[in-house]
Amino acid sequence: MDDLDRAQEREAQDRERALAAARNRPCLADTGRCHYCDASVPPGAHFCDRDCAVDFEREQAAARRNGSRA
């Protein structure tokens, strides 16, 4: 398995995780602001970058584990 194969495999795994997370996440309102850091985002976007999206998901998962609603 070469680097290209590993990259394609990783991309497929990331896509599956994102789809699974989207199915379990309530729809976020299109506010024009990042739902994590409140930065401006283009229409239709919910986060300014991948880091904010990942951090938001981590906080949501922690809130679900703790039984609170985030």
Q: What integer pLDDT is reported at residue 26 of this predicted model?
A: 66
Res 33 pLDDT > 80: yes
- State the pLDDT at residue 28: 85
Q: What is the mean predicted confidence (pLDDT) over 14-34?
A: 81
Query: pLDDT band for position 24 (50/70/90)?
Result: low
pLDDT one-digit tens code per residue, 40-53: 999 989 999 999 99
- Could you tell me if 30 and 44 are in contact, meaning their C-beta atoms sit under 8 angstroms apart? yes
Q: How far is the C-alpha of 28 from the C-alpha of 39, rounded, in Å?
A: 15
Mean of pLDDT values over 16-22: 78
SS3 55: helix
